[in-house]
Amino acid sequence: MLVKHRANILKLVSALIVFTAWEIAGRVPVSFAFPTFFESLAAFWALLIDGTMFTAYAETLKPLVIGILISAFFGIGIGLFVGLSRSFDWLVSPIFIVMQTAPLAALIPLLVMAYGIGLTSKVFVVCIMAMPVIVLNTGGAVRNTPSNLIEMGEAFLGSRIQIIMKIILPSAFPIIFAGLRLGVSAGFIGAILSELKITPTGVGDIITYSRSIADYPSMYAAIASIIILAVLFLNVLERIENKLAQGSRKPSALD
């Protein structure tokens, strides 16, 4: 319990240091376009009160949620085959490695030409950001299943499907979930990027619009809100993971 409290206190201290630095930097000021922490907080509050923030997120979350669901489903599926088959790995992994390293902002005009400026293009951007890390993590985790466990499954007459479902996937689970978390953070970046680069909607619209009218506190409030939401989302994901993993990975005094 003590350790847990200490962790929370340290997190709070860390946040305080960042906010203080922000406030000081805003007061100096480092740039006339850089608002103080309290100005941004006030703008955040205003956006929350008049409902702008909620309607904006209703818009932004659409491509984000669709993109992440697609990436998770196909990413884990493709990753499983990548991990199981060497030839499939060689066939498919390069595509995702290219996807991961490609300068996405430069590719967006191409996507817009192909799929227009609507939801499809935005979902694509989210998928391009989120899918590679999910595929590559899943593939690696599946490939690295301890061979003695697979041998055990064979010795006790498990079928190929049983070995995949009951041994390989549970064994890969923690790393698949880590990939999922990274994919979700990347997806957030993709969603915002698409709103800035394709058509300004949702939170991207708040950012673009506030910048154009030099309302910098609102702009930074919008950016901060994305970070907060992403952190909250990742926390939820972690909770789900702990729930699914049951008691098996709790550290123990005997270990």
Contact residues: other proteins, CB under 8 A:
146, 148-149, 151-159, 162, 166-167, 170-171, 173, 245-249, 252, 254-255
Which H/E stretch holds residue 114? Answer: helix 104-115
Residue nearer to other proteins on the CB measure, 20 or 159: 159
Q: In the complex, what is the shortest distance from the CB of residue 241 to other proteins, in angstroms, rounded to a whole number?
A: 12
Q: In the complex, what is the shortest distance from the CB of residue 124 to other proteins, in angstroms, rounded to a whole number?
A: 35
Q: In the complex, what is the shortest distance from the CB of residue 172 to other proteins, in angstroms, rounded to a whole number?
A: 11
Residue nearer to other proteins on the CB measure, 12 or 165: 165
Q: In the complex, what is the shortest distance from the CB of residue 144 to other proteins, in angstroms, rounded to a whole number?
A: 14
Q: Are 27 and 40 in contact (CB under 8 A)?
A: no
Separation between Cα atoms, residue 22 and residue 12, nearest integer Å:
15
Q: Write the single-letter amino acid at 9.
A: I
Alpha helices (H) along 116-247:
119-143, 147-155, 160-163, 169-197, 202-212, 216-244
Residue nearer to other proteins on the CB measure, 86 or 249: 249
Residue nearer to other proteins on the CB measure, 32 or 156: 156
Separation between Cα atoms, residue 15 and residue 124, nearest integer Å:
34
The DSSP string of 2-62 is HHHHHHHHHHHHHHHHHHHHHHHHHHTTS-TT---HHHHHHHHHHHHHTTHHHHHHHHHHH
Q: Are 180 and 233 in contact (CB under 8 A)?
A: no
Q: In the complex, what is the shortest distance from the CB of residue 233 to other proteins, in angstroms, rounded to a whole number?
A: 25
Residue nearer to other proteins on the CB measure, 116 or 146: 146
